[in-house]
């Protein structure tokens, strides 16, 4: 931890010890005091467990209590609102503000420390700059003994919690968010949350309802939830941001020229969370909008769009209806190509999330000199089509490996004009997520004429056999048709079968 951060943590703690910011309510009710103690206890547990989400929830509650307007979701917005005087404090007394504002500052610091940020940007001077005290005599008011005990408990828990976090750096529990398509980049489609169980699920009642009256037929869209915002496919083919607690519409973006992907979209945020984007396809284009406002990110591509049909030799496929995957600052995606003669090839691509520039391409119908070129007729890369990822993609973020399940070559039901095994048709291909370099592949059907597409992303998991860990294993179900499925377990790094 930097000296500057250490000094500021010390200042915040010292403020409570010396009474510079005395948490005095005068004749406050026990309920208010109990709320403070409860919040401090939750804050301590969150910092010890490394749970940033809980701290952010506490932050929203604290800011709501002191009368802020709008939803505050990160420390930068918090501090800007405080320093610019946009926060409303008229709803509670100055002495109440002292406690809750300091709780807010402590929570901001806790979030910063857990994220490994060197500079949370908080100093004790903001208390004065916010004009919390109506007059200087407020500072001399004698705090109640009960609240001084609450203050002491807060100081102790804050100090211990931060020391524990810094010393142990606990990892954030996995599978407790749903900010990615299917829940997580490894396609596990699993949640570790325990609030809803088999014992209480029958007691659930509908909390709110968001109608989409103009949507007919199947509705396959997978919503995303980030902080307290749920992103859904709404009326008029819009991407709509809802308050996840109430269902209230925050904003709605109707893309011109078509509908977003029918199955889902992607979310990306910068390390400091100052830049947050939604990524989706419409027609032949890849697009981005601001996740907080719904406004088009005009600096992405050409005024917010990237034409995915542009290829080096011939037009390529447009965006798939299934969401791609975000890895670091890259957006990895397959495409839609068709199933008949004249279909484009299903090249796999990665685009820069910030600029929209193409970073790498993997030719699923190999070019001369590339692995698998000899499994096709001479020059097939100029005219053969298909071999695309239109379903799920899985990513091993720790290893930087992306797994793409690929479909069959075209024509799907005839192969007389394409003798050979036709790599990488009907294959699971593992690529270096940063460069697109092939690491390994496994072809399930040679020279497919039955349209046995691979669509389901592999489920990345650890296999234990007889109580022992059997290496880094990768279990995956290969969905070839609704009624024809097979399963295999293989090492995710080498594709060797598990024994």
Q: Does residue 186 lie in a domain region?
A: yes
Domain with residue 449: its CATH number is: 2.140.10.10
Tell me: do 10 and 36 sit in the same domain.
Answer: yes
pLDDT of residue 33: 46
Q: What is the pLDDT of residues 366-413, one digit of tens each?
A: 999 999 999 999 999 999 999 999 999 999 999 999 999 999 999 999
Residue 228 falls within a domain, yes or no?
yes
Closest CA to 488 of 466, 456, 465: 456
Q: Are residues 90 and 218 in the same domain?
A: no
Structural domain includes residue 202? no
Q: Could you tell me which residue, 330 or 79, shows the higher pLDDT?
A: 330
In a domain, 175, yes or no: no
Same domain assignment for residues 14 and 129 = yes
pLDDT of residue 19: 33
CA distance 247 to 52: 24
Structure-model confidence comparison of residues 181 and 10, the more confident one: 181
- For residues 297 and 428, membership in a common domain is answered with yes
Count Cβ atoms within 10 A of the Cβ of residue 499 and give its class: 0-12 exposed, 13-18 middle, 19 or more buried.
exposed
Shared domain check, 163 and 185: no
Structure tokens at 407: 């479909």
Tell whether 228 and 140 lie within a shared domain: no
User: For residue 24, how many other CB atoms are within 10 A of its CB?
Assistant: 23
Residues 276 and 344 in one domain: yes
Q: Structural domain tally of the chain?
A: 2
Q: Do 302 and 416 reside in the same domain of the chain?
A: yes
| pLDDT score for 38 | 62
The answer to whether position 351 is within a domain reads yes
Same domain, 111 and 79: yes
Element housing 98 (H / E): helix 94-114
Partner residues linked to 350 by β-bridges: 332, 360
Q: Are residues 153 and 190 in the same domain?
A: no
Q: 139 with 255, same domain? A: no
What share of the chain in percent tops pLDDT 70? 60
Summary mean pLDDT of the chain = 75
Q: Report pLDDT for 48.
A: 54
Instruction: Kindly state whether residue 32 falls inside one of the protein's structural domains.
Output: yes
Same domain, 120 and 255: no
Whole-structure pTM value: 0.66
199 in any annotated domain: no
145-160: pLDDT as tens digits: 443 444 444 444 444 3
176 in a domain, yes or no?
no
The tokens for 109 are 């610091």
The parent domain of residue 229 ranges over 181-194+211-491
Q: What is the pLDDT of residues 62-120, one digit of tens each?
A: 555 444 433 333 333 444 344 344 444 344 344 444 444 455 555 555 545 454 444 33
The sheet carrying 358-362 orders its strands as 325-327, 330-333, 348-352, 358-362
In this predicted structure, the answer to whether residue 227 has a pLDDT above a threshold of 60 is yes
């Amino acid at each position: 931890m930097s000296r500057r951060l250490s000094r500021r943590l010390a200042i915040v703690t010292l403020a409570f010890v010396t009474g510079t910011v005395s948490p005095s309510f005068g004749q406050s009710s026990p309920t208010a005091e109990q709320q403070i103690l409860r919040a401090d206890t939750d804050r301590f547990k969150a910092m010890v467990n490394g749970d940033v989400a809980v701290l952010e929830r506490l932050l929203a509650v604290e800011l709501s209590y002191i009368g802020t307007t709008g939803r505050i979701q990160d420390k930068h917005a918090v501090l800007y609102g405080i320093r610019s005087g946009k926060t409303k404090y008229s709803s509670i007394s100055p002495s109440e503000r002292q406690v809750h504002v300091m709780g807010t500052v402590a929570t901001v610091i806790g979030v910063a420390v857990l994220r490994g940020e060197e500079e949370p940007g908080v100093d004790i001077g903001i208390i004065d700059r916010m004009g919390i005290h109506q007059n200087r005599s407020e500072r001399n008011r004698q705090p109640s003994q009960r609240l001084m005990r609450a203050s002491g408990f807060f100081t102790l828990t804050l100090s211990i919690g931060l020391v524990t976090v810094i010393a142990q750096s606990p990892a954030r529990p996995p599978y407790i968010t749903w900010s990615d398509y299917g829940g997580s980049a490894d396609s596990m489609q699993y949640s570790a949350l325990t609030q809803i169980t088999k014992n209480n699920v029958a007691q659930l009642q509908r909390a709110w309802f968001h109608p989409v009256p103009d949507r007919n037929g199947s509705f396959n869209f997978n919503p995303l939830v980030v902080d307290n915002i749920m992103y859904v496919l709404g009326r008029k083919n819009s991407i709509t941001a809802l308050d996840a607690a109430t269902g209230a519409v925050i904003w709605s973006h109707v893309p011109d020229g078509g509908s977003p992907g029918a199955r889902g979209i992607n979310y990306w945020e910068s390390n400091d969370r100052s830049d947050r984007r939604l990524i989706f396809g419409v027609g032949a284009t890849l697009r981005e909008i601001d996740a907080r406002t719904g406004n088009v990110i005009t600096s992405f591509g050409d005024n917010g769009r990237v034409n995915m049909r542009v290829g080096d030799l011939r037009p390529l496929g447009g965006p798939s209806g299934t969401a791609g995957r975000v890895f670091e600052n890259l957006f990895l995606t397959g495409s839609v190509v068709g199933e008949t003669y004249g279909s484009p090839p299903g090249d796999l691509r990665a685009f820069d999330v910030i600029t929209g520039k193409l970073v790498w391409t993997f030719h699923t119908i190999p070019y001369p000199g590339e692995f698998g070129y000899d499994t096709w007729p001479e020059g097939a890369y100029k005219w053969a089509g298909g071999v695309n990822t239109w379903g799920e993609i899985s990513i091993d973020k720790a290893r930087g490996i992306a797994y793409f399940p690929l479909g069959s070559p075209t024509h799907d039901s005839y192969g007389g004009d394409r003798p050979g095994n036709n790599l990488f048709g009907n294959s699971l291909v593992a690529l270096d997520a940063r460069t697109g370099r092939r690491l390994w592949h496994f072809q399930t059907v040679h020279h497919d004429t039955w349209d046995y597409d691979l669509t389901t992303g592999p489920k990345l998991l650890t296999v234990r056999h007889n109580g022992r860990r059997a290496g880094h294993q990768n279990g995956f179900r290969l969905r070839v048709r609704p009624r024809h499925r097979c399963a295999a377990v293989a090492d995710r790094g080498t594709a060797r079968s598990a024994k």
